[in-house]
Structure 1
Amino acid sequence: MSVEQTVVMTGASRGIGRIAARQMLAAQPETHLVLLSRNDPRDLVDELKAHGGSVSVVRVDLSSLQSVADATDAVLDLVCSGGLPPIRGLVCNAGVQHTNARTETVDGFESTFAVNVLANHVLVRRLHHRLHPQARVVVTVSDTHFGDFRHNLGMVPGPRWQPVETLARVGAFRDPSSTRAGRTAYSTSKLAAIYLVHECARRFPATWTITGYNPGFVPGTDLARDADPVSRFAMRWIMPLMTLTPFATSPGKAGSFLADAALGAVEAPSGAYTDRHKVARSSPESYDPGREQDTWEAVEALTARFLPPDANMERRADAHHRHHRSQ
């Protein structure tokens, strides 16, 4: 049975997110879609409204954690005032991949980690006390975290795990000005995102569902927009031919699969890894309870001033629990 609900979404202005936004409103017209976007996606909003969709836009710069905090507060104000129905869905689809690992945000973090990990954490943590008991949270991850040829096709180096405090700063990888370092930062950030999905599944209400969604290799999108001209040309015009093989996913299919994950059309337990249209196992490295807890605690500390006030009490309780567990 369809119910009136709000779904908050990042990364809907282009690529698979844009396709997913259309599909979600087509499948569940009672949904009010809130797009968190750096720019005003007026053409998308007009298109969705022309087909009867209910859409709002809240401006956000995901590379600024204060901007993320302000955007979530704007959404919460609308919900609390009755301007929006209850939030039953959160889709963290936005992501960046740079051609280096030395791009720094206004907060002093490495940009890839800031957008792909820290911004999502602030978004989830500031909204989670106002989410519906049956809420569904989807975080777009990537099979580049496997680090093997089958999943990366030799184009993206595998993750190189280090303490989160190191990963969050520029210069975490060798030759940080290189494209290889930028792509390593990307695959490592996606591994960190999976760790947080697992830890959130443990910590948040059992009635919630939080999952990681892997679209697979999707040529033809703008993820590689910062790459060199030859690479951009190949990604846009040559690589799409790979969607005729099992090694790549077309943007249309990837967007449709994301919509299914967001709306619960794919049955997945909380903490699951949805590989395109089915639940699967993520990499062996991605199942590490120690790293998962460490990642949570480090990210909580790095984003502390952007989290809700009760987060400080939760961190103190975590530290107390961990101290006693180690004795």
Structure 2
Amino acid sequence: MGTLLMTGASRGLGREAAEQLLRDHPDQHLLLTVRGANGDRLATELAGKTGNRNVSTVSADLASFADIRKAVQEIERRIDVGELPPLTGFLGNAGLQMVSTTRATEDGFEATFGVNVLANYLLLRLLFDRFERGSRIVVVGSDVHFGDFKHSGGLIPAPRWTTVAELARPRPGGVREGRRAYATSKLAVLYLVHALARRLPDGVDGYTYNPGLVPGTGLVRDADPVSRFAARTVLQLARATPFAMGPVAAGRLLAKTAMGPRPGASGSYLDRGKAVPSSPESYDEAREEDLWAAAAQLCGLPAEVR
């Protein structure tokens, strides 16, 4: 028995994935990060709906490094005293898509990059030595990192890579730049996972997971009324096409990726569970190593894993 740590399980495909994990893996403990005071309620709801009480929560605002560090300390305490089984997995599903690039995290970083990239980095670095052999680390990415019409429908501008310091800094920019920041953060997730996979010990795998277009996940909750209306109406019609699916089906695939048969070599990009090539731009070891070192500095950690 082990513990799977999951972020972003309160709504949408994350909630569906959590329910599926509890149904399919009754002996696995599911530990969820929850912002605010709703953790006990979420765990109770999931246990009641699935009949599996192997679920608990830990409080963590992923827009706060202090909160993340406090949560990791609590996770380690519970493992050390036997309240939790050893750590055997991580599913990073939490993510933001903002309507500007002006919003900042508690630590002063641009919100999209701070939550989508730096929060995952800090969690994984602080817990790096806790993952048991056989563990699987999955961070949710997006096919918008390709930056073309085929993968974004023209709704999301192509990513624009600059320096990590610039990407992590709040800056002037409205809706279009907010969406571009989202695409760029998902390119950064691939760089992060590639760099991580090179450092993981044998027997521990890391993956980037693309759920495809999943209307109804709440990702655009920060958007303007017109965009939210489109997400509720027009984008729902996309479920009838091969390019999209609902939260239930997407959640089931995500759960299978997190706990099912090994989906591919460590570092792979998983498009709805199938290992496929990511964009040509996403294979850039110099950028990957630069991101790893810069993220370490921003998080106050040494670049090298010891």
CA contact (8 A) 2:263 2:273 kept: no
* 2:120 paired with 1:106: no
TM-score, structure 2 normalization:
0.96
1:254 equivalenced with 2:242 (yes/no): no
- Partner Cα distance (1:44, 1:22) in 2: 11
**1:226 counterpart = 2:228:** no
CA deviation map 1:70-119 (0-9, x unaligned): 11111111001111011101111100010001101121110100000000
Offset, 1:139: 0.1
1:263 paired to 2:249: no
Q: Which residue of 1 aligns with 2:236?
A: 240
Aligned counterpart, 2:47? 49
Supply the distance in 1 between the matched residues of 2:47 and 2:217 (Cα, whole angstroms).
24
Aligned partners of 2:39, 2:10: CA distance in 1, in Å? 6
Following superposition, which runs of at least 4 residues in structure 1 exceed 4 angstroms of deviation? none
Matched, 1:20 2:13: no
TM-score (norm 1): 0.90
TM-fit CA distance, 1:65: 0.9
Q: Does 1:141 align with 2:141?
A: yes
Match of 2:268 among 253, 265, 272: 272
- Secondary structure of the equivalent of 2:104? coil
1:125-136 matches, within 5 Å, as: 125-136=125-136
Aligned ranges for residues 1-327 of structure 1 at < 5 Å?
Answer: 4-39=1-36, 40-50=38-48, 51-171=51-171, 176-304=172-300, 307=301, 311=302, 314=304
| Identity in percent | 49
Is 54-63 or 263-272 further displaced after alignment?
263-272
In structure 2, stretches of 5+ residues that fail to align are none
Task: Give the residue type in structure 2 aligned to 1:95.
Answer: G
For structure 1, the 5+ residue unaligned runs are 318-327
Distance 1:43 1:36 in 2: 13
The CA deviation at 1:69 is: 0.9
Shift of 1:61: 0.7
Report the Cα distance in structure 1 between the residues aligned to 2:54 and 2:279, rounded to whole angstroms.
Answer: 38
Structure number with greater Rg is 1
Secondary structure of the residue aligned to 2:109 is coil
| Amino acid paired to 1:20 | A
Deviation at 1:264, TM superposition (A): 3.3
**CA deviation vs aligned residue, 1:44-77 (integer Å, no higher than 9, x gap):** 4223222123111111111111111111111111
Question: How many angstroms apart in 1 are the aligned matches of 2:179 and 2:136?
Answer: 29
Q: CA RMSD in A?
A: 1.4
Q: Shift of the alpha carbon at 1:203?
A: 1.0
Supply the distance in 2 between the matched residues of 1:94 and 1:271 (Cα, whole angstroms).
19
